[in-house]
C-alpha cells in the first residue's frame, strides 16, 4: 500500500468520509451529517454496522423502530436545520429498504436532504437467489432498490469500491444544492460493502461546505422590478424557501420598505410573526379569508421560495386570471411554472436585488390598508374559532389552548388529515421558523416520527425548548413507535392525540361531495363487527411516556402545563367531534375528481356545484 493511500472496506470509507464533512452555519463550523437512523439486518449489519461502530461518537446512530419513520425523523431533522444539515438512514436489503420508499418520496416532494445507505443483492450473484431478493426473470440486474429512482434526486448502486470516490461527493453536492436538494440513495451490495480498496488519503481530509447562494440574472431582476413598479395591487407569497435561504430578515425589510402585503404558504408559515402589520395570513385551500381576498384582487404576485402547490393556488383559482406572477426560486423548474416571470436564484440575493431596482416605489396606501383591514377581520374569526365554551371539542380549540401556553420558541409539528388545515388557519405565529406543517407529501405517520427528528435537532441548539406534536387518532395508529424512540433517547416530546373516531377529514370530503359516510369513521365501516375506542393513554404509557386523558380544552390547558414542566415525553389525549367545530372560513376552491354520473342525486348535485366554480381556474396564462 502506498503512503498516500489507506486500505478500507467500502463501508468503512463511506462512514469515514461522512465523518469528515463539515459545514459553516452562522459562523460556526459543525459536522454536516448529524448522525443517522438505523435498523440492522443481514444486508447492512456485518459491514456497514462494523464501520458505524468505530465512529459512533462522531456519527451517533439512533436505533429506529420502523424504516419509514426513520426517514420521517431524518426529514424532521433536516427541516429544523433549514436543510443545512442532514441525517442518513440505513436499512437492510429487502423489506427494510422497501419501507423507506414513502419517506424518500416525502423528502423528494419537500426538497429535503436525506441520505439512504441501503443493502442490496450480491454483485457476484454467486448465492442467488438470496433471502428477500426479488427476481426479474428477464432482467437480473433489476432489484428493489431500482424503485427508489423516481423518488431520489441522486441514485447510485456501488458496484466497485473506487466508485464512491465519485459518488459520495456527488451525493453531498446534490443534498446541499438549493435547486436540486432532495434525497440521495446509495445501494450497497452485501459483498461490495466488505470489499477493500486503497483509497487516496485526500478523500478523507476535513472538508468545509457552504450553501451556494446563486445570484439571479440581472435581466430577470430588471424585468421583475419593472413589473413590480407598475403594480397597483402587489402581494408577496412567502414560501418555505424564504426560511431555507435564511432570508426572513430580507423579506421583512423588503415588505416594510415597499409596504407590500405578505401572505404565507403552508411551508412558509412562521416567516412573519402573527402581529406583523403586513402579515395578511395564510393563503389557499387551508388559508384565511384575508389572504385569499387579497390574492384574488392582486395584479402582481411576487412568489418567493414556493413551488406553488395546489393548496397554495386553490388549484389555480385563488388569483385573478389576468394577474402577473413573478416567481423567485433557486430551482428553475419552480420559477417557470404557469408562465411566471422567472427569477432564478437565491431568495436572499434576489430580494436585495429587487429592492435595489425599485427606486422609490411602494404599494398604494389604499391597497395596504385594505389588506390590513381584511386581516383584522380574520383575526376576529380565529379568536372566536379557537375559543372554548359550551360547544363540542374541536381541533381549533385545542390549537388555541396550546398556542396560548407554549413558549415562543417551541416547535409545533403536524401532518396529514385535518390538522394541517386547522393549524395553518388558526395557529398564531409567536416566533420565526417554529411551525412544521408537513403538507408537501401530506404524509400520515410523519407527525411523531418527524417530531422526534426535529427534537434531536432542536436539542442541539435549544435544549430548553419543546417540540409539540399534534396528531389525529388515524395517523397515530398508523405510526406511533417513535414515542418509544423519544423515551429511549431522552428526546422529550409533547404529543397531543386528538381522537375523532377515524379519518374524519376524509369523511368530511366524502360528505361534501354528496357521498354517504363509508369506511372512514370507525362507526361507518361495514366490516367492523364491534366498534370500540382505543385507549391511547394506556398505549402511550406502555411505551414509557407519561400519558393522560382530558375531557375538554380547559383540562387540556392544565395537562399541557404539566407536560411543559416534565422532563419526559408526555402524551395528552382528547376526543374531538368528527362533524362539528371545523374551520369553515378561509377555503379556496380545490380540484378533486367527482363522479360525472351517479344514481345518487346528492352526488350529482355536488358534482354540478363543484364544477360551477371552476370558471376562475387559470389555464396556464
CATH number, residue 533: 3.40.50.970
Helix (H) or strand (E) holding 251: helix 248-258
512, 604: one domain: no
**Over 60: is that where the pLDDT of 263 sits?**
yes
- Model confidence pLDDT, tens digit, residues 34-76: 999 999 999 999 999 999 999 999 999 999 999 999 999 999 9
The region, left, alpha or beta by phi > 0 then psi within -120 to 50, assigned to residue 620 is: left
Written as nine digits, the cell of 12 is 468503512
Is 585 inside any structural domain? no
The four Cα atoms 71, 77, 82, 86 give a dihedral, to 10 degrees, of: -70
Q: What is the mean pLDDT of residues 481-502?
A: 98
Q: How far is CA 185 from the centre of its chain?
A: 19
- The answer to whether 217 touches 344, Cβ cutoff 8 Å, is yes
- Helices (DSSP H) in 462-497: which residue ranges? 473-478, 482-488
Query: Can you tell me whether residue 607 is helix, strand or coil?
Result: helix
Task: Report how far residue 109's alpha carbon sits from residue 309's, in angstroms, rounded to the nearest whole number.
Answer: 10
**Over 70: is that where the pLDDT of 97 sits?**
yes
311, 439: one domain: no
Written as nine digits, the cell of 500 is 375523532
- The answer to whether 556 touches 574, Cβ cutoff 8 Å, is yes
Q: Is 46 exposed, middle or buried (0-12, 13-18, 19+ CB in 10 A)?
A: middle
Is 586 inside any structural domain? no
Percentage of the chain surpassing pLDDT 70? 99
Q: What is the mean pLDDT of residues 368-387?
A: 98
DSSP assignment of 441-470 equals S--TTHHHHHHHHHHHHHHHH-TTS-EEEE
In the prediction, which pLDDT does 1 show? 57
Query: Can you tell me whether residue 478 is helix, strand or coil?
Result: helix
**Over 60: is that where the pLDDT of 87 sits?**
yes
- Model confidence pLDDT, tens digit, residues 18-37: 999 999 999 999 999 999 99
Which residue has 395557529 as its cell numbers?
A: 427
- Model confidence pLDDT, tens digit, residues 421-445: 999 999 999 999 999 999 999 999 9
100, 38: one domain: yes
**Which residues, 6+ apart, have CB-to-CB distance to 83 below 8 Å?**
111, 112, 113, 178, 181, 211, 244
Domain boundary at 353, 377, 401, which?
377
* Number of folded domains that form the chain: 4
Helix (H) or strand (E) holding 349: helix 347-356
Task: Choose among 578, 577, 534: nearest CA to 388.
Answer: 577
Is 553 inside any structural domain? yes
Task: Report how far residue 295's alpha carbon sits from residue 210's, in angstroms, rounded to the nearest whole number.
Answer: 36
Which CATH number belongs to the domain containing residue 255 in this structure?
A: 3.40.50.1220
**Over 70: is that where the pLDDT of 125 sits?**
yes
Classify residue 315 by its DSSP letter: T
In the prediction, which pLDDT does 620 show? 62
Cross-sheet strand order for the sheet of 341-344: 279-282, 262-264, 234-238, 300-304, 324-329, 341-344
pTM of the predicted protein model: 0.97
- The answer to whether 242 touches 269, Cβ cutoff 8 Å, is no
Query: Can you tell me whether residue 134 is helix, strand or coil?
Result: coil
303, 399: one domain: no
265, 205: one domain: no
What distances in angstroms separate CA 111 from CA 78, 209, 320, 441, one per listed residue? Answer: 10, 19, 29, 11
181, 266: one domain: no
- Model confidence pLDDT, tens digit, residues 512-568: 999 999 999 999 999 999 888 899 999 999 999 999 999 999 999 999 999 999 999
**Over 60: is that where the pLDDT of 621 sits?**
no
97, 179: one domain: yes
Domain boundary at 169, 190, 209, which?
209
Is 382 inside any structural domain? no
Strands (E) across 316-364 are located at 324-329, 341-344
Q: Which domain holds residue 329?
A: 218-377
- Give me the half-sphere count of Cα atoms (radius 13 Å) on the Cβ side of residue 613: 14
135, 240: one domain: no
- Model confidence pLDDT, tens digit, residues 385-427: 999 988 999 999 999 999 999 999 999 999 999 999 999 999 9
Domain boundary at 147, 176, 209, which?
209
Residue 299: count other Cβ atoms within 10 Å of its Cβ: 17
Q: How far is CA 161 from the centre of its chain?
A: 34
- Model confidence pLDDT, tens digit, residues 557-596: 999 999 999 999 999 999 999 999 999 999 999 999 999 9
Cα radius of gyration (the chain): 25
Q: What angle do CA 178, 184, 189 make, to 5 degrees?
A: 165
Is 582 inside any structural domain? no
Is 205 inside any structural domain? yes
513, 608: one domain: no
505, 619: one domain: no
Amino acid at each position: 500500500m502506498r503512503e498516500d493511500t489507506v486500505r478500507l472496506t467500502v463501508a468503512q470509507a463511506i462512514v469515514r468520509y461522512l465523518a469528515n464533512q463539515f459545514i459553516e452555519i452562522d459562523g460556526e463550523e459543525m459536522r454536516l451529517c448529524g448522525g443517522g437512523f438505523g435498523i440492522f439486518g443481514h444486508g447492512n449489519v456485518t459491514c456497514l454496522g462494523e464501520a458505524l461502530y468505530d465512529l459512533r461518537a462522531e456519527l451517533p446512530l439512533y436505533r429506529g423502530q420502523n424504516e419509514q419513520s426513520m426517514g420521517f425523523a431524518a426529514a424532521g431533522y433536516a427541516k429544523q436545520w433549514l436543510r443545512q444539515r442532514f441525517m442518513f438512514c440505513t436499512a437492510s436489503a429487502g423489506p427494510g429498504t422497501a419501507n423507506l420508499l414513502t419517506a424518500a418520496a416525502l423528502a423528494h416532494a419537500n426538497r429535503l436532504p436525506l441520505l439512504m445507505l441501503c443493502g442490496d443483492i450480491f454483485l457476484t450473484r454467486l448465492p442467488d437467489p438470496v433471502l428477500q431478493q426479488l427476481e426479474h426473470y428477464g432482467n437480473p440486474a433489476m432489484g428493489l432498490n431500482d424503485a427508489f429512482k423516481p423518488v431520489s434526486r441522486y441514485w447510485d448502486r456501488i458496484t466497485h469500491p473506487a466508485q464512491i470516490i465519485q459518488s459520495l461527493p456527488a451525493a453531498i453536492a446534490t443534498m446541499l444544492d438549493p435547486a436540486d436538494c432532495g434525497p440521495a440513495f446509495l445501494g450497497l451490495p452485501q459483498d461490495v460493502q466488505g470489499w477493500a480498496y486503497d483509497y487516496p488519503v485526500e478523500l478523507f481530509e476535513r472538508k468545509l461546505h457552504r450553501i451556494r447562494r446563486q445570484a439571479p440574472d440581472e435581466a430577470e431582476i430588471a424585468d421583475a422590478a419593472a413589473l413590480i413598479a407598475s403594480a397597483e395591487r402587489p402581494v408577496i407569497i412567502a414560501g418555505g424557501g424564504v426560511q431555507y435561504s435564511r432570508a426572513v430578515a430580507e423579506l421583512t425589510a423588503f415588505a416594510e420598505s415597499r409596504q407590500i402585503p405578505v401572505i404565507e404558504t403552508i411551508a412558509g408559515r412562521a416567516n412573519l410573526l402573527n402581529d406583523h402589520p403586513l402579515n395578511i395570513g395564510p393563503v389557499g385551500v387551508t388559508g384565511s379569508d384575508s389572504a385569499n381576498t387579497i390574492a384574488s384582487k392582486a395584479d402582481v404576485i411576487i412568489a418567493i421560495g414556493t413551488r406553488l402547490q395546489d393548496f397554495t393556488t386553490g388549484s389555480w383559482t385563488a388569483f385573478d386570471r389576468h394577474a402577473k406572477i413573478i416567481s423567485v426560486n433557486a430551482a428553475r423548474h419552480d420559477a417557470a411554472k404557469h408562465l411566471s416571470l422567472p427569477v432564478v436564484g437565491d431568495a436572499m440575493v434576489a430580494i436585495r436585488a429587487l429592492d435595489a431596482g425599485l427606486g422609490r416605489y411602494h404599494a398604494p396606501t389604499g391597497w395596504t390598508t385594505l389588506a390590513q383591514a381584511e386581516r383584522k377581520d380574520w383575526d376576529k374569526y380565529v379568536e372566536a374559532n379557537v375559543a372554548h365554551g359550551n360547544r363540542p371539542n374541536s381541533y381549533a380549540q385545542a390549537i388555541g389552548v396550546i398556542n396560548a401556553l407554549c413558549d415562543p420558541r417551541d416547535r409545533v409539528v403536524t401532518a396529514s388529515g385535518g390538522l394541517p388545515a386547522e393549524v395553518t388557519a388558526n395557529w398564531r405565529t409567536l416566533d420565526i421558523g417554529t411551525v412544521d406543517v408537513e403538507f408537501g407529501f401530506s404524509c400520515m405517520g410523519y407527525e411523531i416520527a418527524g417530531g422526534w427528528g426535529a427534537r434531536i435537532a432542536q436539542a442541539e441548539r435549544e435544549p430548553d425548548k419543546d417540540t409539540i406534536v399534534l396528531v389525529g387518532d388515524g395517523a397515530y395508529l398508523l405510526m406511533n413507535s417513535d414515542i418509544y424512540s423519544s423515551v429511549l433517547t431522552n428526546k422529550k416530546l409533547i404529543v397531543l392525540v386528538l381522537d375523532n373516531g377515524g379519518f374524519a377529514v376524509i369523511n368530511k370530503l366524502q360528505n361534501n361531495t354528496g357521498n354517504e359516510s363509508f369506511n372512514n369513521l370507525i362507526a361507518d365501516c361495514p366490516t367492523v363487527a364491534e366498534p370500540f375506542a382505543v385507549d391511547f393513554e394506556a398505549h402511550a404509557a406502555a411505551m414509557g411516556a407519561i400519558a393522560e386523558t382530558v375531557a375538554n380544552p380547559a383540562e387540556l390547558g392544565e395537562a399541557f402545563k404539566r407536560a411543559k414542566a416534565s422532563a419526559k415525553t408526555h402524551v395528552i389525549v382528547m376526543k374531538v367531534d368528527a362533524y362539528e367545530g371545523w374551520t369553515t372560513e378561509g377555503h379556496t376552491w380545490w380540484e378533486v375528481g367527482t363522479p360525472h354520473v351517479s344514481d345518487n342525486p346528492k352526488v350529482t348535485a355536488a358534482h354540478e356545484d363543484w364544477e360551477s366554480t371552476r370558471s376562475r381556474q387559470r389555464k396556464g396564462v
